[in-house]
Amino acid sequence: MSTVDTQEAPVPDFGGAAPGRSLAIICSKGNLDMAYPGLVLANAALGEGVPTQMFFTFWGFDLITKSRMRDLKFTMLGNTATHLPQGLGGLPGMTALATHRMRQQIAEIGVPDVPEFLDQIVDSGGHLWACRMSADMMHVDENDLYEPVEGIISAADFIEKTDGAQLLFI
Amino acid sequence: MSVATIAGHQLHVDGEGFLTEYDEWDEALADELAARIGITLTDRHRAAIRFLRNDFPARGETATLRRVAVVGGIPVKELFELFGAKPAKKMAYIAGLPKPRGCV
C-alpha cells in the first residue's frame, strides 16, 4: 500500500562526496584475484565523486607493466578459500586451469580484464602512479609501463600527493 | 514508497525521490527531473537516458556506467562530462529508475 502524499517529492542528494574526501589505494599484489579489490574500489570511489590515486608497488607492478598486465595468474596454492585440498594446487597445469576458470567467472559478471579496467578508471578521473623502488628493482622504465600511468615516483612523493586521503593497502 | 508531486504530476517515489513505477516516466518528465538536479538535457544526455530506459525491462535492474559504455556505446569519460560527479545515480534518477546495484 502506498500512502498518498501531495507533498513535493524529495530531490536526491547528488552533492559530490564529503568535502575534502579522497582515497589512496596502494596495490602491492600481482595475483589475478588480488588485482581486483583495488580496481573495483577505485572505480566505485570515482563513481561516487571521490578523487582517487592508485600507487602500484612490488608485485602490484604487474598490473601496470605492459608485458604482464594481460597475463596475471590465480593460484590455489596457499589459498584455503578455494576449499579444495592444498596438494591439488601443486599439480602441473593447476594454476593455468584455476586462472582460466577465474577469468571466465569475472567475464561472466561483466567485469573487464585488468587493462580495460584501468582504462575505465583513468576515464573516470583516477590517477595512476608507479613506485620508483619497484621500477629500479625490476629494471623497467616509463616505456615498459601502461601509458596512462602518470609517472614513476617515490613512496614519499605518493604520501605527499595523497595528503589527507583515506588509505587502502592491498 | 509514497505518492508525491513532481512538476505538478503525482508520482510514486521512494524515500530519496527516485521514481518507483517504470510506466510513470516520460521524456517530458526527464527534463523536469534533470532540472531539479541542475542538468539541462542535450541529445547526448537523452541518448544515455534512453539506453537506460530500454535496457531496464529485460534485465530488471539499472545499467551500470560500464554497461552504458560497453553496450550503450557512450564512453565513460563522456558520461562524467555530461552528468558530473555520481553519473550513474544521476542518470538513473532522470530515467525514472532505481539506483544501479552492480559494483562495476
Quick: pLDDT tens for B35-74: 999 999 999 999 999 999 999 999 999 999 999 999 999 9
Which ipTM was obtained for this model? 0.90
Contact residues for A85 (Cβ-Cβ < 8 A; gap 6+): none
Cell output for A15: 552533492
CA dihedral sign of residues B21, B22, B25, B31: positive
Percentage of chain B surpassing pLDDT 90? 87
From chain B, the residues in CB contact with A126 under 8 A are: none
From chain B, the residues in CB contact with A124 under 8 A are: 65, 76-77, 80
What is the pTM for the complete model shown? 0.92
Active site residue B87: no
Strands (E), chain A: 3-8, 23-27, 52-56, 127-131, 152-153, 166-169
Average the pLDDT over B81-87 and give the result: 95
Q: Which of A4-13, B8-17, B92-101 has the highest mean pLDDT?
A: B92-101
Strands (E), B1-104: 2-6, 9-13
CA dist B49 and B32 (Å) reads 13
Which structural domains are found in chain A, ordered by start?
25-169 (3.40.1260.10)
Contact residues for A71 (Cβ-Cβ < 8 A; gap 6+): none
Between B3 and A51, the higher pLDDT residue:
A51
pLDDT tens-digit readout, A128-146: 999 999 999 999 999 999 9
* Secondary element (H or E) of residue B48: helix B43-59
Residues of chain A whose C-beta is under 8 A from some C-beta in B? 2-14, 16-17, 40, 43-44, 47-49, 110-112, 117, 120, 123-125
